[in-house]
Amino acid sequence: MTSHAEIERVAFRLFAEKGFVGTTLDDIAQAAGIGRRTLLRYYRSKNDIPWGQFDDTLDEFRNTLHTFDDRPLHEAVHLAVIEFNRFPAEAMAEHRVRMRLILTTPELQAHSVLRYADWRQVIAEYVAERTGSDPSALLPQTASQVALSLSMAGYGEWLSNDDTELSTVLEQALRTLHGYLEV
């Protein structure tokens, strides 16, 4: 019996050994004891393997946003982003490995915008709903783009300091933006 968890365990081991590019789908399939064709049914592409079940978390993200309906809009988004990036302590080590791979491998960096497009859409829809506008309008799009850019800046900082907290750097990124825009 094969599972996503098992495949990812095997894949990450190979990525660590031979690098993402240096690992072929055949390598992963063989190491996982399944056919290459089957592997590509579990994941839409090689680039999607490191993302695991990311899409499944978006529903929860949507709910989290509505948790903050009573807060000012920008604050609601900010708090929800922080909440989205909260993981149990024992999962942080794995999350670091995963995100370091994604954010340092050019192929995966590129692919990430496609995965984050849905994430941004969740924010855009929330902002649109609260402002009575269309998700494609300038405010929802700007808010979601900026939310992503702050997350990226935060993650970069987080990955370069092993002893920082994700929630802390995301907070710092927002404060940094405030300082940058006002001074």
Partner DNA sequence: CACAATAATGGCACTCAGGGTCAAAATGGA
Partner DNA sequence: TCCATTTTGACCCTGAGTGCCATTATTGTG
C-alpha distances out from residue 66 to 10, 106, 139, Å: 37, 34, 18
Residues that bind its own copies (rule: CB under 8 A) add up to a total of 37
> Is there binding between residue 97 and its own copies (CB under 8 A)?
no
The answer to whether 119 and 51 are in contact (CB under 8 A) is no
CA dihedral 28, 107, 111, 169 (to 10 degrees): 100
> Is there binding between residue 2 and its own copies (CB under 8 A)?
no
Q: Which does 169 bind (CB under 5 to 8 A by kind): its own copies, DNA, none?
A: its own copies
Q: Which does 26 bind (CB under 5 to 8 A by kind): its own copies, DNA, none?
A: DNA
> Is there binding between residue 109 and DNA (CB under 7 A)?
no
Member of 157, 167, 168, 171 binding its own copies (CB under 8 A): 157
C-alpha distances out from residue 74 to 28, 61, 102, 142, 156, Å: 42, 15, 27, 11, 22
Residues near DNA (CB under 7 A): 1-2, 23-26, 33-38, 40-42, 44-47
